[in-house]
Amino acid sequence: MKKTYNKLVRDKIPEIIEKDHQSCDIEILSDDAYLTMLDAKLDEELAEYHADQNLEELADLLEVVYAAAIARGYTIKDLESLRLKKRAERGGFNKKILLKSITCPK
């Protein structure tokens, strides 16, 4: 029986499949295809987090975010530095503020 996936997987998944006495067909993606599949993987992981809302799904989402940053030429340090800069300038989300509306002067 053959099951088709056509999705980006973690680096060790083919080894894990073969250790389970199964075989798999893989492809090494071009840089452009990799970026496209990373974007799809972000959507997939976010949907899984919405469904389960657990720490494991958050960790998976973060792993894909890190991979996307690196694939686009950034480092994890770049990402974290920008996150901290934005947090210092605009704050985080700890106060649970819901912006309902803004009234503009006439």
Q: Is the pTM of this model over 0.85?
A: yes
Check if the beta carbon of residue 45 is closer than 8 Å to that of residue 12: no
Radius of gyration of the chain (CA): 19
The amino acid that residue 8 corresponds to is: L
pLDDT in tens, the chain (106 residues): 899 999 999 999 999 999 999 999 999 999 999 999 999 999 999 999 999 999 999 999 999 999 999 999 999 999 999 999 999 999 999 999 999 999 999 8
Domain regions of the chain by residue span: 13-90
